[in-house]
Structure 1
Amino acid sequence: MRNIFRVIVILSILFVIINGCKKYADDYKRFLNNKEVTYPGLATGVGYRPGNLRAVLVWHPSPDPSIKNYVITWNNGKDSLRVDATSHSPADSITVSIPGLKEYVYSFRIVAHDNSGGTSVGQDLNNVRVYGPVYQSTLLNRGYDIANPYMVRPDGSVDLNFVKADAGNVSTTIEYTTNNSGTKTVPLLAKDNVINLADFKFGTVVKYQSSYVPATNAADVFTTLEKATFPTIRYIAVCDKSLFKENPLPGDAGVYDYNTTVRKLWDGTVGPQGYPDIFHSDGSHGMPHAITFDMGKVYRKLTSVEETGRNCCNNPDQFEIWGIADITGAETSLSPRDSGWQAEMIAKGWTLLKDIRRTDDGQNAQKFDFDAVPSVRYIRVRIKHVTSNDSNYSNISEFTFWNEK
Structure 2
Amino acid sequence: MRKIYQLPAFLFLLTIVVSSCTKDDLAFKEYLKNGETVYPGKVSKIVAKAGNLRTGLWFNPSPDPSVTKYVIKWNNNVDSIAVNSSSHNPLDTIKVIIPGLSEYTYTFTVFSYDAQGRKSIPIEAPNVRVYGPLYQSGLLNRPFNATEPYVVNANGSVQLNFNTPDTINVGTTIRYTNTANVQVDKVLSATEMSTVLNDYKSGTDILYRSSYIPSKGSLDVFNASEFSTFPKIFTLVQCDKSLFKEIRLPNDVNTYESGTSISKLWDGSNGPQSYPNIFHSDGSYIAHVLTFDMGKTYTNLAQMEEVGRDCCNNPDRFEVWGINDLTNASTTLRADNSGWKAEAIAKGWILLKDVTRADDGKNAMKFDLIANPPPVRYIRIRVLHTVTGSGYSNMSELTFWNKQ
**Structure 2 length-normalised TM:** 0.70
Q: Which residue of 2 aligns with 1:153?
A: 153
Q: Which residue of 2 aligns with 1:58?
A: 58
How has the CA–CA distance of structure 1 residues 89 and 153 changed in structure 2, closer, same or farther, with 3 Å as cutoff?
A: farther
Task: In structure 2, give the amino acid aligned to 1:15.
Answer: V
C-alpha deviations, 1:278-336, integer Å up to 9, x for none? 3659x9xxxx99755669xx9896445678999699x998975449xxxxxxxx9x999
Secondary structure in 2 matching 1:4? coil
In structure 1, C-alpha distance between the alignment counterparts of 2:46 and 2:314, rounded to whole Å: 87
C-alpha deviations, 1:51-86, integer Å up to 9, x for none? 223221112333444433222111222x32232315
Question: Aligned runs of 1:127-206 on 2, under 5 Å?
Answer: 127-206=127-206
Q: Which residue of 1 aligns with 2:349?
A: 355
In structure 2, C-alpha distance between the alignment counterparts of 1:361 and 1:144, rounded to whole Å: 32
What 5-or-longer segments of structure 2 have no aligned partner? 331-347, 385-391
Q: Which residue of 1 aligns with 2:104?
A: 104
In structure 2, C-alpha distance between the alignment counterparts of 1:156 and 1:358, rounded to whole Å: 25
Q: Which residue of 1 aligns with 2:21?
A: 18
Contact 1:251 1:335 in 2 (8 A): no
What 5-or-longer segments of structure 1 have no aligned partner? 324-331, 338-353, 388-393
Contact 2:176 2:185 in 1 (8 A): yes
Shift of 1:359: 11
How has the CA–CA distance of structure 1 residues 222 and 360 changed in structure 2, closer, same or farther, with 3 Å as cutoff?
A: closer
Task: In structure 2, give the amino acid aligned to 1:48.
Answer: A
Task: In structure 2, give the amino acid aligned to 1:40.
Answer: P
Task: In structure 1, give the amino acid aligned to 2:279.
Answer: I
C-alpha deviations, 1:315-366, integer Å up to 9, x for none? 998975449xxxxxxxx9x9997xxxxxxxxxxxxxxxx8335998999998
Contact 1:265 1:279 in 2 (8 A): no
Contact 1:67 1:85 in 2 (8 A): no
Task: In structure 1, give the amino acid aligned to 2:158.
Answer: V
In structure 1, C-alpha distance between the alignment counterparts of 2:142 and 2:28, rounded to whole Å: 71
Question: Aligned runs of 1:259-338 on 2, under 5 Å?
Answer: 259-266=259-266, 277-278=278-279, 291-292=292-293, 302-303=301-302, 321-322=323-324
In structure 1, C-alpha distance between the alignment counterparts of 2:177 and 2:369, rounded to whole Å: 31
Q: Which residue of 2 aligns with 1:82?
A: 81
Secondary structure in 2 matching 1:216? coil
Contact 1:71 1:81 in 2 (8 A): yes
Shift of 1:178: 0.6
Shift of 1:216: 0.7
Contact 1:71 1:80 in 2 (8 A): no
Shift of 1:395: 8.1
Q: Which residue of 2 aligns with 1:48?
A: 48
Contact 1:265 1:396 in 2 (8 A): no
Between 183-192 and 358-367, report the one with greater CA deviation: 358-367
In structure 1, C-alpha distance between the alignment counterparts of 2:320 and 2:39, rounded to whole Å: 100
C-alpha deviations, 1:3-51, integer Å up to 9, x for none? 317655433322210111222333344x21xx43322222233221122
Question: Aligned runs of 1:115-126 on 2, under 5 Å?
Answer: 115-126=115-126
Contact 1:161 1:195 in 2 (8 A): yes
Q: RMSD in angstroms over aligned alpha carbons? A: 4.7
Q: Which residue of 2 aligns with 1:402?
A: 401
In structure 2, C-alpha distance between the alignment counterparts of 1:196 and 1:386, rounded to whole Å: 40
In structure 2, C-alpha distance between the alignment counterparts of 1:82 and 1:109, rounded to whole Å: 11
C-alpha deviations, 1:174-208, integer Å up to 9, x for none? 11111111111111111111211111111111111
In structure 1, C-alpha distance between the alignment counterparts of 2:355 and 2:104, rounded to whole Å: 73
In structure 2, C-alpha distance between the alignment counterparts of 1:5 and 1:356, rounded to whole Å: 130
In structure 1, C-alpha distance between the alignment counterparts of 2:67 and 2:354, rounded to whole Å: 94
Contact 1:263 1:279 in 2 (8 A): no
Shift of 1:400: 3.1
In structure 1, C-alpha distance between the alignment counterparts of 2:263 and 2:218, rounded to whole Å: 67
**Structure 1 length-normalised TM:** 0.70
Q: Which residue of 2 aligns with 1:224?
A: 224
Q: Which residue of 1 aligns with 2:387?
A: none
Shift of 1:128: 1.5
Shift of 1:103: 3.1
In structure 1, C-alpha distance between the alignment counterparts of 2:114 and 2:354, rounded to whole Å: 97
Contact 2:248 2:290 in 1 (8 A): no
Secondary structure in 2 matching 1:3? coil
Contact 1:239 1:402 in 2 (8 A): yes
Secondary structure in 1 matching 2:126? strand
Task: In structure 2, give the amino acid aligned to 1:20.
Answer: K
Contact 2:105 2:128 in 1 (8 A): yes
Secondary structure in 2 matching 1:160? strand
How has the CA–CA distance of structure 1 residues 180 and 373 changed in structure 2, closer, same or farther, with 3 Å as cutoff?
A: farther
Question: Aligned runs of 1:350-389 on 2, under 5 Å?
Answer: 355-356=349-350, 368-369=369-370, 371=373, 373=375
The count of aligned residue pairs is 360
Task: In structure 1, give the amino acid aligned to 2:86.
Answer: S
In structure 2, C-alpha distance between the alignment counterparts of 1:44 and 1:359, rounded to whole Å: 74
How has the CA–CA distance of structure 1 residues 230 and 117 changed in structure 2, closer, same or farther, with 3 Å as cutoff?
A: same
Secondary structure in 1 matching 2:6? helix
Contact 1:205 1:230 in 2 (8 A): yes
